[in-house]
């Protein structure tokens, strides 16, 4: 049975991550820590021998993907569908500022509501567009190959959940991905998509296959 592997990789740290500021689709670059995280993660992911490398076109994801491209020789394909959730009027604010100035919207977001308000993209729309991009990435590799997708935290979780067919309530039980950590999915004709690993990264205890 041929199994295709899909790695859904969150970008490295940014100054807005460090400040607890809502990035959404603001084009914030990696900071020095994030750049090093990308290099450290790439040294592990290259061992999976990816056949395709796809990234959000936002700089923090694209530059994360570039660290792996440098080791594999692969070109990075950019896909706007892999962008982070659009957070509308929240972008640039800290969560404390959102809670203070937009309390009703913040309460709906904290409760996991699909529609938050304030121009925030719905979870359903987010999940559909990211899942479409993830499926396209998997389709871009030969059967049994590995595709690596560099994206964002909320985008990764919602897109993976949509691809797996999980209800929103189940998806909320997953912790947020750490910077430069990833989700591993597998697909075969008989079982479809399955979750193989979650929140794996340079500082994870889960072993990564040695170079071959």
Give tens-digit pLDDT for 118-159: 999 999 999 999 999 999 999 999 999 999 999 999 999 999
Q: Choosing from 19, 43, 84, 97, which is the catalytic residue?
A: 84
pLDDT score for 99: 97
Specify the pLDDT at position 202.
86
Give mean pLDDT, residues 175-196: 95
d(CA 58, CA 151): 9
Mean pLDDT (whole number) for 31-59: 97
Pairing of strands 182-188, 192-200: antiparallel
Q: What is the mean pLDDT of the chain?
A: 94
Domain boundaries in the chain?
A: 4-86+121-200
H helices of 46-149, in order, are 59-72, 95-101, 103-110, 123-139
Is the pLDDT at 10 greater than 90, yes or no?
yes
pLDDT surpasses 70 at 211: no
Residue pair 101/22 in contact by the 8 Å Cβ criterion: no
What is the rounded average pLDDT of the residues 170-177?
91
Alpha carbon separation from 202 to 27, 37, 163 (Å, rounded): 25, 8, 25
State yes or no: is 84 an active-site residue: yes
Within 10 A of 23 (CB to CB), how many other CB atoms are there?
Answer: 23
Q: How high is the pLDDT of residue 14? A: 97
Is 63 annotated as a binding-site member?
A: no
What was the pLDDT predicted at 1? 72
Residue 166 reports pLDDT greater than 80: yes
pLDDT at 205 over 70: no
On whether 17 is known to bind a ligand per the annotation, the reply is: yes
**Cα angle at 199 between 111 and 70, to 5 degrees?**
125
The question of whether 78 is a catalytic residue gets the answer no
Q: Has 14 been labeled as part of a binding site?
A: yes
Architecture of domain 4-86+121-200: 3-Layer(aba) Sandwich (3.40)
| Residue 83 assigned to a binding site | no
Q: At what angle do helices 32-45 and 59-72 cross, to 10 degrees?
A: 40
State the pLDDT at residue 204: 54
- Tell me how far apart the alpha carbons of residues 150 and 62 are, in angstroms, rounded to a whole number: 7
pLDDT > 70: percent of the chain: 96
Q: Tabulate helix, strand, coil % of the chain (nearest 5).
A: 40, 20, 40
Q: Which two tokens stand for residue 125?
A: 């729309």
């Amino acid at each position: 049975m041929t199994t295709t592997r899909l790695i859904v990789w969150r970008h490295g740290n940014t100054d807005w991550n460090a400040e607890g500021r809502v990035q959404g689709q603001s084009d914030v670059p990696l900071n020095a820590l994030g750049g090093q995280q990308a290099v450290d993660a790439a040294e592990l992911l290259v061992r999976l021998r990816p056949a395709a490398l796809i990234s959000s076109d936002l700089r923090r994801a694209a530059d994360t993907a570039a660290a792996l491209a440098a080791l594999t020789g692969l070109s990075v394909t950019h896909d706007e569908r892999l962008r982070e959730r659009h957070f509308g009027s929240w972008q640039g604010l800290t969560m404390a500022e959102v809670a203070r100035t937009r309390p009703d919207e913040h309460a709906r977001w904290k409760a996991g509501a699909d529609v938050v308000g304030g121009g925030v993209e719905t979870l359903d729309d987010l999940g559909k567009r990211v899942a479409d991009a993830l499926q396209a990435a998997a389709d871009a590799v030969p059967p049994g190959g590995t595709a690596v997708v560099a994206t964002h935290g909320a985008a990764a979780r919602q897109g993976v959940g949509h691809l797996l067919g999980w209800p929103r309530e189940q998806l909320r039980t997953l912790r947020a991905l750490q910077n430069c950590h990833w989700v591993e999915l597998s697909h075969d004709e008989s079982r479809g998509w399955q979750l193989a690993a979650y929140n794996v990264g340079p500082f994870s205890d889960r072993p990564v296959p040695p170079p071959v």
